[in-house]
Copies of this chain bind each other. A is one copy, B any other.
């Protein structure tokens, strides 16, 4: 007989609606307890970007946004609200593609993604699309802060990942992706390692945090299912702690821009 390598994921139910100023470091331990669980060392807490952004007050009302000439031009080419495009430009270092219905931007923090990650769904009082939610200012810092506060509250050193869903080239559909990481490896680097037969490993850098972010996204479901926080249990980190920045390929090393 053998014992399987078990990894369990718990999507916390009845998580409250998050508003600017709410403290996730209080809401998350409360939700863990409400779901009959206890935070353990080596657990990874995956938190949807949306509630991090909301707690950090990253909601912007479009009526206060003044589009520049560049924003008006990009809005015309993409059929998007010029004020939304203005926010995309403010969040981005550059734009990679502009076609009708789609603006692919290089966010100031290096992520390549649609609309610079700005989201307009599942916001209160937004039937008219007058509100937009930006990504957290610094998701690695958000993850670090939450990790520290969870340690203060629960006495446990958990890993924290902030995830979002990104589209990707070559494949259909979006997948969960890590934008902030704390207390957990982002990449497992096995360069120099050898396989079972003493041959160098071929694919030696694995984006562990992105795999966890995707797994958690699967458990989170869509926003209307209300499970923005997922506890992952049963995996011990075997590499040094990393950050969301580690997962961003430097432009000069990227063959596909």
Shortest beta-carbon distance from A251 to chain B in Å: 9
For A120, A170, A175, which residue has the most chain B Cβ atoms within 10 angstroms? Answer: A170
Chain A positions 216 through 245: 1 when the CB is less than 8 Å from some CB of chain B, otherwise 0: 011101111001000100010000000000
A35-B3, A121-B202, A127-B198 are contacts. A174–B207 as well, Cβ < 8 Å? yes
Contacts of A252 in B (CB 8 A): none
Chain A positions 79 through 98: 1 when the CB is less than 8 Å from some CB of chain B, otherwise 0: 00000000000000000010
A255 and B215 contact, CB distance less than 8 A: no
A4-B35, A197-B122 are contacts. A249–B169 as well, Cβ < 8 Å? yes
Interface residues on A, range: 35 or more
How far is it, in angstroms, between the C-alpha of A35 and the C-alpha of B122 when the chains are bound? 42
Contacts of A256 in B (CB 8 A): 97, 169-170, 256-257
For residue A5, CB closer than 8 A to chain B, the reply is yes
Contacts of A193 in B (CB 8 A): 222
Contacts of A173 in B (CB 8 A): 186-188, 205-208, 210, 247
How far is it, in angstroms, between the C-alpha of A211 and the C-alpha of B178 when the chains are bound? 13
For residue A123, CB closer than 8 A to chain B, the reply is yes
B199 and A121 contact, CB distance less than 8 A: yes
- The segment out of A8-16, A53-61, A142-150 that lies at the interface is A8-16
Nearest B residue to A169 by beta-carbon distance? B256
Which listed residue, B8, B174, B221, touches A6 by the CB 8 Å rule? Answer: B8
Contacts of A65 in B (CB 8 A): none
Shortest beta-carbon distance from A1 to chain B in Å: 6
Name 27 interchain pairs, CB-CB below 8 A, sorted by A. A1-B34, A2-B14, A4-B12, A4-B36, A4-B37, A5-B11, A6-B11, A97-B255, A99-B255, A102-B255, A119-B202, A122-B197, A122-B199, A123-B199, A124-B197, A129-B199, A169-B254, A171-B248, A172-B207, A172-B246, A173-B188, A174-B206, A174-B207, A175-B210, A190-B222, A215-B215, A256-B257
The 7 closest A-B CB pairs, nearest first, are: A173-B207, A215-B215, A5-B11, A169-B256, A214-B214, A4-B10, A2-B13
